Chains A and B, each alone.
Chain A
Amino acid sequence: MHQQKIKSIIGLARLRLYAQRVFEGLTAGLIGSSAVWMVLLVLFKTGWIPMESLQSWSLYALAFPVLGLLWAVIYRIDRSAVALAVDESNNLHARLTTAYCFLEIPEGERSEFQKAAIREAAGHMEGVKVSEATPLRIPRDTLALVMVLTVLAGIVLVKPPTIHGTMPPEEPLPAPEAVLDDEDLQRAKDQWEKVKEELAKSEDPVAQDLIQEMDELMDALDKRELTKEEFIHKVDKVSKKFFEEQDDEWRTVLEELKDSEDELAKNKHTKDLANALKEGDMQKAAKELENLAKKLEEGKLSDRDIEDLSKKLEKFAKKMGKDEEKLNKAIESKKKEIEKLKQKYEKNKDNLTDDQKKRLSRLERELNKLAGAKKKLKTSSRGRSLKKLEKAAKEGADRLRETKSRGKGATRDKEARAESRKKFGKAMDMAAGEMRDLDKKAQHGHAMDKAQSQANDMKEMVRRGGSKPNEQQQAATDNFNQRASGQKPSPGQQPGDPQQGAGQPQAGMQPGGQQDPKAGQEGAGQQPGAGQKPGAGQKPGAGQKGAGQQGAGQQPGPQAGGQSPGQGNKPGQGGANATGPGQQPGKGQGNTNQNNPNERGGDGRSGGDGGDPMGDKGTALGDAKFKNTKVSGRQGDGPVESEIIESAASKGFASRGYKEIHTEYENLAEEVMEKDQIPPGYRYYVQKYFHLIRPRDAGE
């Protein structure tokens, strides 16, 4: 009785709370929907979206009120909290809450005070006003909803202006910066023309497609229609389309033919065929096969020749099919092994241990794998080519045997012999046809390889060559070009300039005169004849062959300095003595590659290893690691200029043209790059180098 009374009050209050929440949720949802409708209407009226979109999106916008309703219904309202709210609003001193909480306790477990509290609460339930605790109010967001609906109505009613202003004329976009400089572009074009020629020979439609796409790409590159990134992306796309899924079976077949030629080389009639196969010249091989067939048909081969030829061709055919044979053997062996195991486990078939089961399943898996490989070999184009060639070779061998056997009764059956020769000839022709097909595929493959290499080169060229060189790099390139073309370098770009192969002028000297152990070993390279002519200072061979030139740079020091032996007399390193008051210990010092004493010394002007600038140390080496090496040079002043010219004359002047040498070496470099796995980045530099040192016409 008490229970019902108390619970009904709480239930009613809860229901009112839910109703309030539903109103709140709906209002919030309607605000959301109205906002969306507002946007949609504006978009529709300004012509951004069609009527269909307006209708469909308007329907979707109805999801907001639905979500609001869901929120209201799903949200959990705690009954005891509702009871407390009723208590607070009716000044019940938590009687309802306490009673409700105690009603949750099983009746037998309630204490006397709990029972008394329930009784007392029930007595106070008369006249409880639930509406005071849970009043049904106007939703909080009503005002916002009204405002949004007003705006929405305004948008519905207001007609958009019918006259639209004209759009300003579109400004042409600036042409993208040149992806390649003119020289690189020309080089890329030249290379592509060569590759195109080869591709054009191939009748494969893929090659034609490739030519078309690459031509378009080159054209776009030429017209500067592409940015660097776009170009690289397009090249990647072309590579993916044409080069990634190339049929490379012809390579394997060619390799196998090469490997199998040794059997044919043993027979005088098939020797040339073997050579052609060895060289990979399939046209020649086909021709040789046709010749052989002709000889046989014309009866130019003796019985003995025919017998030998038959054996060799059979062996050749077997070698060609060795992969399949191996697979067959492996499959047979696996089958036997499985059979053996099954027999072994027959007695205890149902109670196999885990290890035994594993072993069986492993073998079966391996068998399946081998069967799969065999199937693949049969279905692949390589497999089909091999089969055809093998068949042709076997048929040739069979015909030869047939001819031989009939040869014994040749006088009796000339026609039969002629017939068998004819059949053999056909088999040989078939083989020749296969060879020609293979040759075509190989040609196409090679052309595609070159095209791929070209595409990669171009990509790399663009990636690396696109950026403009800075002033220093440009000066270095100009200088190199001038020297390469036999001109004198312009002032300020003298060989031996610290920028030209020389190291950092600061290298070797730490502030405060501290010796860096590495100092003087890096940078500071002096070009021959740079700054100091041979014979002027220390000449090559005069005491320290390959040693660095002693540099200038003596400056008055603040105090008398001690002796600074510098880097020692290591080959390739000069020494620097600084004694006496007022001398700055540590002078410029030539450097060279320590690993190679034959290399020339460095520029003495830059790297100086110094002593203590204060001059209060006997030696300014500090902790620098150095090694003294005695160099036994030739005594004397060294050869003078005339002697050098004379010795050069005795060796002989250049007798071949530069153009010829350049072409020869460039081809050699290309060959090396093709054969070896040269990373594209390096390929670019090699090609660029040869391009830069190319022989030019006078006007160029």
Chain B
Amino acid sequence: MSTDAASRNKSPEAIVERFQNDMKRVRDEIGKVIVGQQEVVFNVLTCIMADGHVLLEGVPGLGKTVLVQTISNVMDLDFKRVQFTPDLQPTDIIGTRLAEQDEKGRLRFEFQRGPIFANLVLADEINRATPKTQSAMLEAMAERAVTVGDRTMKLDRPFFVLATQNPLEQEGTYPLPEAQLDRFLYKLIVGFPTLDELDTIMDRTTKGFDAKAEKVITRERLLEMRDEVRQVEIAKPVQRYALRILRATHPTMEESTPMVRQFVRNGGSPRGAQTILLTAKVRAIMDGRYHVSPDDVRQAAVPSLRHRMILNFEGEAEGIDPDDILAEIIKKVPAAKV
């Protein structure tokens, strides 16, 4: 490749175009396996591009495992699934040292890697494990490394956790504390498929149709795409808009709305604003723009902040949905304040 061609490839226009094309291919490939759930797929891909983790909330059987497995296939990534149960131990996730006999018959300890050592980890029903196990998992998510004894081992890049939790209050569940929820970039609600979608699912699964997703992009390309996302620019007034939305989730701030003041105990952390801006950048580049718009911010705000707002007793008692509060915030906080 000549120098001119290389620099052309590095031009913003080329970067954006390539990014858009790759993403389209990835989505199309996933779409071959996953029926519907386009928004969930889009948001999960957004989080992968933003180098963050996702918490999925939805009843079992909606294709979460298939989604992760498909993504790993499309992006050429390792995939592991961990079913969280109350008796699951941290070592079951991280790994443990086992005594092994070498060729000479001597015993020595070898570290047996746990399922965390993968590019894509599906932590199924994470709220069924004890807090101790949860925290082991979440520590790995934050640090992207695990420590066993005196050894610290870096996890492979990319590292992406997709955790699921059952929305229903059930016996033997341990809800994730707020600090740990904060580590998830997005919390996505997996809705029930529509009638047409269900129809298609039934057709595909009951008539011997075996759809399989092929590899579309390499692991290296994925890491490159992540770097490209960060080059997307954001103007100060737009950034301010995102910050005003974040401040509006706090009942004591002047930007707060009546619902926030009535039902919210604590608003989102600064990590919430980071998430909004980062994922807004992904949306902008996917849309073929070099900058973030207030629309990107608005769309990123709901999945970024819904799990970061803590309702007060009144909010819990009234069964207030944080999405409604965020909708009100987005409606009442203006992007342009002239």
Q: A97 touching B237 by the CB < 8 A rule?
A: yes
Stretch touching chain A among B45-53, B150-158, B292-300, B310-318: B292-300
In the bound complex, CA of A93 to CA of B297 (Å): 11
Please judge, given known A-B contacts A88-B294, A94-B292, whether A113 and B12 are in contact too, CB under 8 Å: yes
Residue of B12, B233, B295, B337 near A102 (CB, 8 A) is B233
Q: A82 touching B338 by the CB < 8 A rule?
A: yes
Task: Answer yes or no: B199 CB below 8 A from chain A CBs.
Answer: no
Q: B12 touching A84 by the CB < 8 A rule?
A: no
Q: Give the chain B neighbours of A87 by CB distance below 8 A.
A: 293-294, 336
Chain A 376-403 near chain B by CB (<8 Å), digits 1 or 0: 0000000000000000000000000000
Task: Answer yes or no: B289 CB below 8 A from chain A CBs.
Answer: yes
Q: B237 touching A84 by the CB < 8 A rule?
A: yes
- Smallest CB separation, B282 vs chain A (Å): 14
- Smallest CB separation, B233 vs chain A (Å): 5
Please judge, given known A-B contacts A94-B235, A101-B237, whether A81 and B12 are in contact too, CB under 8 Å: no
Q: Give the chain A neighbours of B238 by CB distance below 8 A.
A: 84, 94, 97-98
Q: B11 touching A98 by the CB < 8 A rule?
A: no
Q: B294 touching A84 by the CB < 8 A rule?
A: yes
Q: How big is chain A's contact interface, by range?
A: 20 to 34
In the bound complex, CA of A116 to CA of B238 (Å): 18
Task: Answer yes or no: B106 CB below 8 A from chain A CBs.
Answer: no
In the bound complex, CA of A87 to CA of B234 (Å): 14
In the bound complex, CA of A116 to CA of B232 (Å): 10
Q: How big is chain B's contact interface, by range?
A: 20 to 34
In the bound complex, CA of A216 to CA of B336 (Å): 77
Task: Answer yes or no: B291 CB below 8 A from chain A CBs.
Answer: yes
Q: A114 touching B233 by the CB < 8 A rule?
A: yes
Q: A94 touching B293 by the CB < 8 A rule?
A: yes
Q: Give the chain A neighbours of B237 by CB distance below 8 A.
A: 80-81, 83-84, 94, 97, 101
Q: B336 touching A85 by the CB < 8 A rule?
A: yes
- Smallest CB separation, A95 vs chain B (Å): 7
Interface members, chain B 220-239 (any A CB < 8 Å): 231-238
Task: Answer yes or no: B100 CB below 8 A from chain A CBs.
Answer: no
Q: B294 touching A117 by the CB < 8 A rule?
A: no
Closest B residue, CB atoms, query A81: B338
Chain B 294-338 near chain A by CB (<8 Å), digits 1 or 0: 111000000000000000000000000000000000000001111
Q: A94 touching B12 by the CB < 8 A rule?
A: no
Q: B290 touching A116 by the CB < 8 A rule?
A: yes
Q: Give the chain B neighbours of A113 by CB distance below 8 A.
A: 12, 231-233, 290-291
Closest A residue, CB atoms, query B13: A116
- Smallest CB separation, A3 vs chain B (Å): 15
- Smallest CB separation, B272 vs chain A (Å): 20
Residue of A88, A111, A115 near B335 (CB, 8 A) is A88
Q: A94 touching B291 by the CB < 8 A rule?
A: yes
Task: Answer yes or no: A17 CB below 8 A from chain B CBs.
Answer: yes
Q: B291 touching A95 by the CB < 8 A rule?
A: yes
Chain B 8-22 near chain A by CB (<8 Å), digits 1 or 0: 001111000000000
* Cross-chain pairs A/B with CB under 8 angstroms, 18 sampled: A83-B237, A87-B294, A87-B336, A88-B294, A94-B237, A95-B289, A95-B293, A97-B237, A98-B234, A98-B292, A111-B231, A112-B11, A112-B12, A113-B231, A113-B290, A114-B233, A120-B289, A134-B338
B residues apposed to A, CB below 8 Å: 10-13, 231-238, 241, 287, 289-296, 335-338
Inter-chain pairs besides A87-B294, A101-B236, A117-B290, 14 sampled, C-beta below 8 Å: A80-B236, A81-B237, A82-B336, A84-B241, A87-B293, A87-B336, A93-B289, A94-B293, A98-B233, A98-B292, A112-B11, A112-B231, A113-B231, A114-B233
